[in-house]
């Protein structure tokens, strides 16, 4: 049976040994990973003394466990809790990147310091250090606030010092709506696989990740039923006639509705690349796949759907639908204004 080995360069300083002698000392070390400490003992003449075993154990325990009474203990609890483990894999990966930043900056912070009102200022200063990339700054703050919220909910801290932190990144999506011309341009040049993804997003208003994972079993004509990965909201919607016709005409290459040209499930990167190429050929600039979600909301509103009706289709909360319509889209939408006037004209002559 072959054993995995690795070459290791180890720098040591021996008392009363001249540098020129040190340079001539070569200690060949072959490490078997499951016998690391024993091999090092043999290589350097260490003995299996009680002192060595105790120090070795203490050193490795300190690596495995965060120091008691520090913020790192809260982070460790959060990462092991359902609030974190229950998130979608992609969300966990995103959070872990920012949790690492938090650990590096505040891992040794005493938990008792979280009760000091000045700690919020320290957190804000840390967030502002990423101000050149506002979205990163906001994500970092959101992750920190989530960990704090967990700690407050578990009774570890009395207040969340990161509540209502505000945002540095402000997205103006007023003009980020897919027009009928934009949609037609992509449909004219895209593959059938990309066309299906576009129509599915346009008529369902769902996120890219949820659509790429949507199985055929979720479609029972005329309804589509799914559970959104973000928030776990269950959505049941009728598939509009154009979408239904396309789904019924699509051959089923596997368990998932959306597949690539080889009939295999899309990866996020693979889909993003193919989508980008289709948009480039169509001359689309400044619009994203995610903008189709907001476009679906606007299309439903223009068609006369109420806020609760829109929320039932897209899975947004009522508050979120109102915020989308009010803050991002409808302020400049002449189509909605025309629809409103036509309805008024039909009801009165004055």
Tell me the percentage of the chain whose pLDDT exceeds 90. 55
Q: Is residue 95 part of a domain?
A: yes
Together in a domain, 40 and 10? yes
Q: Is residue 170 part of a domain?
A: no
pLDDT tens for each residue of 175-196: 588 989 999 999 999 999 999 9
pLDDT tens for each residue of 95-119: 999 999 999 999 999 999 999 999 9
Per-residue pLDDT at 333: 58
Q: Is residue 266 part of a domain?
A: yes
Together in a domain, 275 and 189? yes
Q: Is residue 55 part of a domain?
A: no
pLDDT tens for each residue of 272-309: 999 999 999 999 998 999 999 989 998 898 888 889 99
Together in a domain, 75 and 45? no
In the predicted model, what is the mean pLDDT of residues 142-152? 95
Together in a domain, 212 and 95? no
In the predicted model, what is the mean pLDDT of residues 66-85? 93
pLDDT of 350 > 80? The answer is: no
User: What CATH number does the domain containing 191 carry?
Assistant: 1.10.443.10
Q: What is the 3-state secondary structure (H, E, C) of the chain?
A: CCCCCCCCCCCCCCCCCCHHHHHHCCCCCCCCHHHHHHHHHHHHCCCCCHHHHHHHHHHHHHHHCCCCCEHHHHHHHHHHCHHHHCCCHHHHHHHHHHHHHHHHHHCCCEHHHHHCCCHHHHHHHHHHCCCCCHHHHHHHHHHHHHHHHHHHHCCCCCCCCCCCCCCCCCCCCCCCCCCHHHHHHHHHHCCHHHHHHHHHHHHHCCCHHHHHCCEHHHEECCEEEEECCCCCCEEEEECCHHHHHHHHHCCCCCCECCECCCCCECCHHHHHHHHHHHHHHHCCCCCCCCHHHHHHHHHHHHCCCCHHHHHHHHCCCHHHHHHHHHHHHHHHCHHHHHHHHHHHHHHCCC
Q: Is residue 316 part of a domain?
A: yes
pLDDT tens for each residue of 56-68: 555 544 445 678 8
Cα–Cα distance for residue pair 214/108, rounded to 1 Å:
43
Q: Is residue 210 part of a domain?
A: yes
Cα–Cα distance for residue pair 67/276, rounded to 1 Å:
47
In sequence order, the β-bridge partners of residue 70 are: 110
Q: Is residue 63 part of a domain?
A: no
Together in a domain, 77 and 111? yes
Q: Residue 89: how many CB atoms within 10 A of its CB?
A: 8
Together in a domain, 282 and 328? yes
Per-residue pLDDT at 39: 46
Q: Is residue 59 part of a domain?
A: no
pLDDT tens for each residue of 328-341: 555 545 566 666 67
Per-residue pLDDT at 337: 65
Q: What residues make up the domain containing 22? A: 1-49
pLDDT of 2 > 50? The answer is: no
b/e burial code for range 222-250 (CB count within 10 A of at least 16 → b): eebebebbeeeeebebebbeebbebbeeb
Structural domain count of the chain: 3
Together in a domain, 141 and 190? no
Together in a domain, 149 and 194? no
Together in a domain, 30 and 114? no
Together in a domain, 189 and 321? yes
Per-residue pLDDT at 29: 42
Together in a domain, 44 and 77? no
Together in a domain, 221 and 342? yes
């Amino acid at each position: 049976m072959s054993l995995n080995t690795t070459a290791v360069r180890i720098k040591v300083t021996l008392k009363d040994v001249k540098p020129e002698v040190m340079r001539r000392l070569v200690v060949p070390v072959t490490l078997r990973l499951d016998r690391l400490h024993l091999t090092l003992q043999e290589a350097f003449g260490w003995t299996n003394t009680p002192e060595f075993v105790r120090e070795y154990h203490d050193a490795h325990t300190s690596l495995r466990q965060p120091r008691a009474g520090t913020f790192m203990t809260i982070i460790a609890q959060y990462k092991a809790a359902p609030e974190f483990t229950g998130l979608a894999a992609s969300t966990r990966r995103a959070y872990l990147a920012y949790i690492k930043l938090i650990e590096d900056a505040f891992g040794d912070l005493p938990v008792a310091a979280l009760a000091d009102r000045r700690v919020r200022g320290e957190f804000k200063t840390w967030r502002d250090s990423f101000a050149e990339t506002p979205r990163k700054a906001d994500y970092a703050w959101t992750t920190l606030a989530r960990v704090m919220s967990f700690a407050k909910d578990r009774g570890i801290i009395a207040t969340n010092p990161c509540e209502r932190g505000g945002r540095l990144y402000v997205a103006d999506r007023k003009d980020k709506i897919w027009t009928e011309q934009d949609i037609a341009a992509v449909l004219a040049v895209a593959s059938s696989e990309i066309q299906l993804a576009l129509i599915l997003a346009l008529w369902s208003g769902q996120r890219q990740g949820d659509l790429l994972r949507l199985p055929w079993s979720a479609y029972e004509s005329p309804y589509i039923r799914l559970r959104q990965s973000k928030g776990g909201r269950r959505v049941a919607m009728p598939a509009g006639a154009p979408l239904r016709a396309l789904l019924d005409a699509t051959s089923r290459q596997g368990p998932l509705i959306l597949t690539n040209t080889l009939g295999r499930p899309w990866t996020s990167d693979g889909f993003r690349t193919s989508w980008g190429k289709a948009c480039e050929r169509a001359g689309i600039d400044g619009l994203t796949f995610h903008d189709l979600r907001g476009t679906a909301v606007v299309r439903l509103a223009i068609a006369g759907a109420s806020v609760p009706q829109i929320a039932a289709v897209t899975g947004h909360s009522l508050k979120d639908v109102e915020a989308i319509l009010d803050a991002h889209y409808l302020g400049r939408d002449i189509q909605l204004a025309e629809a409103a006037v036509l309805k008024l004209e039909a009801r009165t002559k004055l």
